[in-house]
Structure 1
Amino acid sequence: MKILIVAYDAHPCEGGVDTYIQTLKSGLEKKGHLVDLVSYTDVKKLNQEDIKRIVEYQNALNSEFKGKVPEHVIRTEVKRFIHKQILNSVNSTYDIIHSQIGLLNSVIKEVFPNIPLVGTIHGCIYSETLMWEKNRKNAEFYKEYDDEAVNIPDKIITVSSYLDKNLPLIAPEKRLVIHNGINVSDFQVKQKNNQIIKIATTGNLYHLKGYDILLQALIALKKENLLYELTMFGDGSERDKLEQIVKMHQLPVKFKGHVPREVLQEELPKFDVFVQPSRFENFPFSVIEAMASGCAIICSKVNGMNEQVQHLKNGILFEPENSDQLSECLQYMIRNREETKRMGIQGRKDAEEKFSIDIMVEKHEEVYRQVAAIYSTTNNTSDGLCENKGLVNQNHWDTLYENLDIYKPAENDPFRVWINEHIPMGKGKSCIEIGCFPGRFLTIFGDAGYTLNGIDLTPKVESMPFYLSSLGYSIGQFKKQDFFSLDYSTTKHDIVCSFGFIEHFSNWLDVLLKHSEMVKENGYLVIEVPNFSGFPLRAMRMFLDFKNYEGHNTASMYPEVWEKILSLLDFEICFSGYFGEFDFWIDEIPDSLTKQKLISLIMESKPFFDSIDLPDCHIKPYCGLIAKKKTSKSVSAILTNKSIQETINNIVKKATREDQIKDLNIRKIYSFFELWCKYMDDKKVGRNL
C-alpha cells in the first residue's frame, strides 16, 4: 500500500506522537509499504504564491476576528490553512491517509475527499487546552476539533481503552484500540548488579508529568535512610524549579537533559526501577521502553498506564498526585530487590508479547485493509455502477427492484410538471436515462416524443423495451452495462438525464461531467437528486434513516454548484434549484418505537411544512437542474483549459468543505438523539410521545 501519514507539528520532534509516527513508519516500510510523512516541516517547500495566500488569510482573520476570539484560535486556524497549502502541493496518490490529529481531518478530506482516512486520537484537544487556558470559555473553541477527530475519519484508532470524558462519543463500529509498540530488540536487558538501586524517569519536564510529585516522595523518603539514585532524562520549562528542590533538600538526583533515542536505548537497561508520576498520560512509550529494558515500573494510576502496568506483577500503581503513596512504592522496591528484579523480568516479557512493533504494525495493516475494503466493496465495478467510487452496493438496488414494476407518473406528479415546463417536444430525437430502471421518468420523455434509451446494472433493465414499446413509445437501446464503460465520444443524445443517481458516488463531479459529455449540441442535461442540503431535511434523514443517509454524498446536493460548473462548460441554465411539495420517506422502518412515532408525526405534518416560510433548500424534497448545451465543442476539449479545470475543482472543494461543516454540526446532535431514543424506548414511553 501507499500510505500518507499527516502530522500537525514539525517532525522529527520530542514526544510520544513523534515516537509513534517514526515507529509506525519504519515498521510499515520494513513490510514493503511505501510511506510518506507530511508535517509542518514541509512549510519550507511552499512556493511564493502559497506563502502569499497564507499571509492574506492571516491578515483577513486578524482583521475580522482579532479581539473577538482568543489569539491562539486564530493561530490554530492559520496553521490549519498552512497545512491545506502543504497538502495541496502533494503530487502523489495514496491508498490510505493516516491522520495524527483531529485538527486536520476536515482539511485532509477537503483536499483528498476520495481517499480512505484513518485517524489516530492521541488525546482530547479540549481537555489539553483546559490545562493551560485559564478561561474555560476560550477553550470551548477547541471542541469542534475533537468533533472532527471523531466524526470525519472512516476508522478511528485510540492507543488505549481509556477515552477522555470530554471527547465526543465514538461510534463503536468505527473505533479500534491499538496499543503503542516499540522495537523491543533495541533494548538489550543487562545483568543488573547495582550496589544501590538505580531509578530512572524520562520525559519532558512539564507540570503535567508530575515530577514535582516524585521529588516530594523522595523528600519523604529521606527519613528512611535508604540508598538509591534517581536519574532524570529530559528537559523542559520546570527544570530550574526541580533542580532548586533537589539542591534545597540534597536529594540524590541527576539531571541528564534531553538525550538521543539511541543513548536512551543504551542507558535504560542499566536501571532497576522506572517511575512515571504523571498527572495525565494516554499510553506512554516511556513506560513500554522501560519494560523492554527490564525495569520494574512505578506509575500513577491514570488512563492508559492502567493497561501497561499490572499491579504487583510487572510494577506498582499509585493514586495520582499522592506523593506519600509514591514514597511507599519506592520504599517497597528498594527494600525488596528480588521482587523488583522479578517485576522487571515480567515487564520485559509483557513488552515482547503485548507491545512489540510487529503487533502494532500488523494491527494497523488490518485497519488499513478494512478501510480499503469498505471503499472497494461498496465501489467495485461488479457491485456498483462506478469503479471504485460508488457509495451503495448494487445488490441493494437489485433487491429493491425485485418486486418493483414499471409505471407512469400521474399528470400532477412533480417530476412531470417540472420536466414539461422546461423541456420541448422531441419527436425523432433521442433521450437516455442513466440508471434508468424502473423507467417512470423515461415515460415523461416518451410522452414528449423522444426515442427512449437506458443503461442500468440491474438485470431487469432488459425487460424495459417490451413494456415501453407496448405503451407506444419509440425504443432505442437498453443495456445492462456499467455507466463508466460507455464510449462518451460516440454516445450522444438530445436528452441526457438521471434521477437519484449522482449522489451515490463519492466522485460525483466525474459522474456529472460524463453526463455532460454525452449531450448533443442544443441538447439538454437533466439532473435530479433528493435534497438533504437544508438543516431540517438533513437532520430528519440522519436521525431517522441513518443507514440510507450514509449511502448519499450530500456534497453533491447543491444545484447552485452544478450551475457554476455547467456554465463554465458552455451550458445555458434553464432551471437550477429545488422543487416539489414537502415529502419524507425512509428506506427501512427503524426498530425504535420512538423513531417510528416521530416518522409518523412528520408524515402527518406535511401541510404544516408546506405552509411555513423557509428557503426552498430547507423544505423542498428534490434538487434539480436543466441545462441546454450551446456548443458543439466536447466537454473534454473544454476541460483541456487548465484555468477552467482549476476553477471547477475549487468550486467543488469549497462546496465539499461547507457541506462537511453542516454534516459535522448535525452529527454533534445525532449521538445525543440516539441516546434519547434509547432512553425513551427503554422507558416504554415511545408510544406516548
Structure 2
Amino acid sequence: MKVLQALFFPPEQPGGVSSMVPYIQERFDKLNWDMELFYIPKRVRMKGSEPVQFKTFDWTVYRGNAIVDKYIQTYKDYLWWTQMRIQKRYDLIHAHHPIAGMAMKRLFPETPVIITLHSSYETELILNGKISENGPEQAFLTSLYRELEANLDLILTASNSFKNYLSKYVEEPDKIEVIPNGFDENRFRPIVHENQVPQLISVCRLVPAKGLDILLQACSELKRRELAFVLHIIGDGPIRKELEQMAADLNIYHETIYYGYMLHPEEFMPFFDIFVLPSRAESFGSVFAEAALCRLAMVGTQVGGIVEQIDNGRNGLLVPVDDAQALADALETLMSDSELRNRLALAAREKAENDFSLNRVIEQLTVVYRRYS
C-alpha cells in the first residue's frame, strides 16, 4: 500500500505535527510500508494561478480581506507545487493541513484522502490579536471545515475537545474520529536529579495564545513571596522582546532565561523540575506529552486537549486560564514539595507511555489506512 503523508510545513518546522510525522513514517518504514512525505517549501510564494471554487460556500464574498486572500493564494501555490512535484499515484493520502487536504483531493479525486486536523487557525489568530472574533476571517476559516467534510473521505482530530469544537461547523460530527498524537518513547530519557533551586521550564512559540504573560506575572508573585527559582523559556516568536521587557519590569529578568528556538528540546528538558505552560487554547498540546515523557511535574490550564492529558492532582496540576495568582499557588505547591513533584511526574510518564505512545498511533492508523485499501 502506497501512502503519502501530505504536510504543509516542512519537517524541520519547530514543534507540532511537522516534527511528529517523520517518526510515523520511520515506524511504518520498519513495517515495510511504502510511505513518503510531501510538503511545500517556504520559498514557494505567488506561483499558483488556478481559479478556486468550493462546493459548500462562496469564498469570494470574503475577497479583499488580507488573511483570506493570502490563504487562497497559498492554496493555489500548494496546487501548483503539487502538480509540479507529484507524478506517481498513491493508494491513500493522509493530509495534515486543510490546504494540503483540499489540494490533494482536487488533484487526485479518485484517491482516498483523509485529514488530521491538529489545531484551530482561527482561534490562534483571535488569541494572538490578528483578527476579531466573529469577523469575516473567522467565518471564512470555519467554513473550510464543512468543505473538508464534503470532499474528503475522513476527518481525524487529536483530541475529543477539538472534535467538540469542530462539531459546530460540520453536518455529521459523529463521523469525526479521534487519534491522539503519539511520541517515540526512545527519544525521551528522564534523568534522576535534584536541583537545589527549583528549575521551571516552558517550551512554546512566543505568541499571546500561550499565556506567557501570565506565567511571568505568576513568577513575579513567587519572587514577592521570597521563593527562589529559575524560569527557562525555550522557543521564539514575535513577542519575545515584549516578554523580555515584561520580565525586567516585573523584576524577574535575572531569574528568566530565554533560549530561542531549539530543534530537540526533549534532550534538554529532563534536567528541569517543573514544566509549566498557561495556554489560552490548545487543540492537543503535544508539549505536555513530551514533558510527561521527560518525567517532569506539570502545570497547565483547564483548556482543550490539556485536560485530556492532565488529571488534576494525579499526574499534574490544572489552573484556570488567565489566573496568575492560581498559577503562582500551583507552582509554589510543587516547588515546596519534592515528594509531590516526583509522584506527579511518575504518574505523568506512566500515562503518556500508555496513552500517547507512537506504537499506539501506528496501530490505530494501520486500522484506518487498511479501511481504504
TM-score (normalizing by structure 1): 0.49
Counterparts of 1:151 and 1:294 in 2: how far apart (Å)?
42
Closer, same or farther in 2 for the Cα pair 1:25/1:153, shift >3 Å?
A: same
Residue 29 (structure 1) shift: 2.2
RMSD between aligned residues: 2.4
Contact 2:200/2:231 (CA < 8 Å) preserved in 1? yes
Give yes or no for the alignment of 1:255 onto 2:258. yes
Which amino acid letter does the alignment assign opposite residue 5 of structure 1?
Answer: Q
> Which one of 106, 109, 130 corresponds to residue 110 of structure 1?
106
Counterparts of 2:62 and 2:144 in 1: how far apart (Å)?
21
Residue 65 of structure 2 corresponds to: 70
Closer, same or farther in 2 for the Cα pair 1:365/1:295, shift >3 Å?
A: same
- Say how many residue pairs are matched: 358
Contact 1:101/1:149 (CA < 8 Å) preserved in 2? no
Residue 35 of structure 2 corresponds to: 35
* % identical equivalent positions: 25
Contact 2:298/2:317 (CA < 8 Å) preserved in 1? yes
Counterparts of 2:171 and 2:19 in 1: how far apart (Å)?
25
Which amino acid letter does the alignment assign opposite residue 6 of structure 2?
Answer: V
Contact 1:102/1:150 (CA < 8 Å) preserved in 2? no
Q: Please give the secondary structure, in 1, of the residue aligned with 2:114.
A: strand
Residue 626 of structure 1 corresponds to: none
Counterparts of 2:256 and 2:43 in 1: how far apart (Å)?
41
Q: Give a deviation string over 1:416-473, Cα, whole Å, max 9, x none.
A: xxxxxxxxxxxxxxxxxxxxxxxxxxxxxxxxxxxxxxxxxxxxxxxxxxxxxxxxxx
- Which consecutive aligned stretches of 4+ in structure 1 deviate over 4 angstroms post-superposition? 55-58, 65-68
Closer, same or farther in 2 for the Cα pair 1:169/1:37, shift >3 Å?
A: same
> Which one of 80, 83, 101 corresponds to residue 85 of structure 1?
80
Q: Please give the secondary structure, in 2, of the residue aligned with 1:40.
A: coil
> Which one of 94, 101, 117 corresponds to residue 98 of structure 1?
94
Residue 145 of structure 1 corresponds to: 144
Residue 10 (structure 1) shift: 4.0
Q: Please give the secondary structure, in 2, of the residue aligned with 1:345.
A: helix
TM-score (normalizing by structure 2): 0.89
Could you tell me which runs of 5 or more consecutive residues in structure 1 were left unpaired when the two chains were aligned.
59-64, 373-689
Contact 2:143/2:169 (CA < 8 Å) preserved in 1? no
Counterparts of 2:193 and 2:108 in 1: how far apart (Å)?
52
Residue 382 of structure 1 corresponds to: none
Q: Point out which structure has higher relative CO (alpha carbons under 8 A, 6+ apart).
A: 2
Residue 4 (structure 1) shift: 0.8
Residue 336 (structure 1) shift: 1.0
Counterparts of 1:334 and 1:158 in 2: how far apart (Å)?
35
Which amino acid letter does the alignment assign opposite residue 153 of structure 2?
Answer: D
Counterparts of 1:82 and 1:248 in 2: how far apart (Å)?
44
Closer, same or farther in 2 for the Cα pair 1:171/1:57, shift >3 Å?
A: closer
Q: Give a deviation string over 1:519-575, Cα, whole Å, max 9, x none.
A: xxxxxxxxxxxxxxxxxxxxxxxxxxxxxxxxxxxxxxxxxxxxxxxxxxxxxxxxx
Residue 23 (structure 1) shift: 2.9
Residue 4 of structure 2 corresponds to: 4
Could you tell me which runs of 5 or more consecutive residues in structure 2 were left unpaired when the two chains were aligned.
53-59
Counterparts of 1:282 and 1:138 in 2: how far apart (Å)?
19
Contact 1:70/1:138 (CA < 8 Å) preserved in 2? yes
Counterparts of 1:364 and 1:95 in 2: how far apart (Å)?
14
Q: Give a deviation string over 1:100-159, Cα, whole Å, max 9, x none.
A: 122343332221111111110112344344442137134322233121233322222110
Counterparts of 1:188 and 1:11 in 2: how far apart (Å)?
22
Which amino acid letter does the alignment assign opposite residue 105 of structure 1?
Answer: G
Q: Larger C-alpha radius of gyration, 1 or 2? A: 1
**What does 1:108-507 align with in structure 2 at a 5 Å threshold?**
108-131=104-127, 132-134=130-132, 136-163=135-162, 165=165, 167-169=168-170, 171=172, 174-251=175-252, 252-261=255-264, 264-372=265-373
Contact 2:50/2:76 (CA < 8 Å) preserved in 1? no
Q: Please give the secondary structure, in 1, of the residue aligned with 2:41.
A: helix
Q: Please give the secondary structure, in 2, of the residue aligned with 1:109.
A: helix
Residue 21 of structure 2 corresponds to: 21
Q: Please give the secondary structure, in 1, of the residue aligned with 2:363.
A: helix
Q: Please give the secondary structure, in 2, of the residue aligned with 1:182.
A: coil
Counterparts of 2:180 and 2:28 in 1: how far apart (Å)?
16
Counterparts of 2:368 and 2:262 in 1: how far apart (Å)?
34
**What does 1:502-513 align with in structure 2 at a 5 Å threshold?**
none
Contact 1:43/1:82 (CA < 8 Å) preserved in 2? no
Residue 2 (structure 1) shift: 1.4
Contact 1:292/1:352 (CA < 8 Å) preserved in 2? yes
Counterparts of 2:221 and 2:144 in 1: how far apart (Å)?
42
Q: Give a deviation string over 1:553-600, Cα, whole Å, max 9, x none.
A: xxxxxxxxxxxxxxxxxxxxxxxxxxxxxxxxxxxxxxxxxxxxxxxx
Counterparts of 2:187 and 2:238 in 1: how far apart (Å)?
30
Closer, same or farther in 2 for the Cα pair 1:173/1:31, shift >3 Å?
A: farther
Contact 1:154/1:174 (CA < 8 Å) preserved in 2? no
Contact 1:291/1:351 (CA < 8 Å) preserved in 2? yes
Counterparts of 2:120 and 2:149 in 1: how far apart (Å)?
10
Counterparts of 2:150 and 2:318 in 1: how far apart (Å)?
34
Residue 249 (structure 1) shift: 2.8
Q: Please give the secondary structure, in 1, of the residue aligned with 2:268.
A: helix
Residue 501 of structure 1 corresponds to: none
Contact 1:121/1:149 (CA < 8 Å) preserved in 2? no
Q: Please give the secondary structure, in 1, of the residue aligned with 2:372.
A: helix
